[in-house]
Every structure is written in structure tokens, then in C-alpha cells.
Chain A
Amino acid sequence: MDRIPILKLGRALLVTIQVDMHDRLATALEEDLSAKIVASGAQGVVIDISGLDLVDSFMGRMLDNIAAVSRMLDAETVVVGMRPAVAITLVELGLELSGVKTALNVERGMALIQSRLLQTRLEAVEIGDDGL
């Protein structure tokens, strides 16, 4: 069966969706990604959907699920590269993906994850200070 490749970039995972996904492929991605988050200890996931010319409610739910599962596994998900026509259609469909962070492109998505990692580290330092 086809699989969508998952690349490791620093402490984040990058998934680029380029094909018109059938449902099994979407489900497989959910499973592969959660396994890879745990195996790699990644704290961020960037999903690039610039290759998709539509996101329907099934795919929207998949993105929501991936974000929720990743969050439970201590990783932040950022969906990047959404086309304007896709965004307009999603809002009209009533699917605003409120559980998913978005960024304009891969670069900005990665920056968002970096800043989150930095924030976590700063908080950890503060807690450490209090403990002294």
C-alpha cells in the first residue's frame, strides 16, 4: 500500500501531502505519524498541504485528529500551505479546523515550532530556579 513519507527535520517532522488522498491513505498517515512522533521524540509536526486542491470534511477531520493525537504525545501540529480557494471552501463548509494551528508556509510553520520549543525550555529553566 502507498504511504505518505514523513521526514525528520531537527526536532520536527515534515509531511508533504501531494496526492489526492483516498481514505485509507489518510488513516495510514494518522497511524504512521503518531508512531514516528513517539519513536523520534519529535515535538513538532508540520503538514504541508500546498499540493491539495481540496480539503473535504473527511480530510479536515483527519487533520484535527492528527493535531489532537500529536498534542497528547507532546508534539505541536502546524498545517501549512493551504490554498486560498481551499480556505474559502472550508469556511463555507463550516469546518474551521479550530483545533489546528496554521501557518502560511513551511518556513513559518517551522519557526512557530521553534518558538514553542524555546518557550518550553524557558519555562523549564524558571521551574528549575524556583526549585533551588
Chain B
Amino acid sequence: MDSKPMVSDRLPIKTSDDVVRVRQQTRVRALEAGLSLVDQTKIITAASELARNTLDYGGGGEVVIESVQHLARRGVRLTFVDHGPGIPDLDKALTDGWTSGGGMGLGLSGAKRLCNEFDITSEIGKGTKVMIARWK
């Protein structure tokens, strides 16, 4: 969806404390956008999953959290970027239960289900970029 960002924050993801900060800032923006309690919970949970992926598999990176507006609709958009090893097989990585680490393999596929928009690009040796958005 075409939309212009109104406010944006750029946060580093280098430690597990940063994952907590990403959740907190996502909550602030979700509240501003007027998302329902369930939708707030969904986008914050998705943010938490992706921030942890960035940390654990991407070797750290950053996220841009934006309040966005399209016509009369408001929403929150997050873009996670890392410069890690990249994901060799995106289709496989988006399958429930598939995991390369110690998790339950729900990170990417789970986050995708919790959002209205989901986009991922990954290049071997260069890194991974994941965009999610939730609209009111």
C-alpha cells in the first residue's frame, strides 16, 4: 500500500535488551495509530519475533519503526535490516516448523500471519530485509 511515513524511529538491534526496546517503541506507535488491543498485541509480537531473528540469525542489525497513513487509514510499519549471512531458501524459511536455530521455527511464518503486509528480501552473504505493516 502506498503510504507516507509521518514519524519514524531507527533503533539498533545488538542485544536482547534491544529486542525489549523494539517491543516498547512498536507499542507506542501502535497506540498512536489507534490499533485495537488485539492488533497492537499482534504487531508487537511480530516485531519481537523479527527483532530476535535479526539478532540471532542476522548477527544484529536495526529496525525502522514508522507511523504511516494511507488516505484515512493509519498504521505501523517496521523494516528490519541485517547484514548477516542471508537466507538461502526463503520458501523453506517461511514454512511452519522449519528452523535453522534453536527456536520453534515459528518466527518468520508466525510474524507473517500476524500482519496485514509482509515482504522479505534476502541475499546470500549480504543480509536480509523484512518489512511488516499492520493497518487500522
Contacts and interface: CB of A to CB of B under 8 A. Distances in A.
Contact of A95 (B19, B27, B42, B106): B106
User: Could you say which interface size class chain B belongs to?
Assistant: 20 to 34
Contacts of B113: 92-94
Given A22-B16, A22-B17, A24-B16, A89 B45 contact: yes
A58 B106 contact: no
A20 B96 CA distance: 26
Q: Chain A interface residue count: which class?
A: 20 to 34
Interface of B: 16-17, 19-20, 23-24, 27, 37-38, 40-42, 44-45, 48-49, 52, 96, 103-104, 106-107, 109-110, 113-114
Contacts of B103: 57-58, 61
A58 B52 CA distance: 9
Interface of A: 20-24, 53-58, 60-61, 83-86, 88-89, 92-95
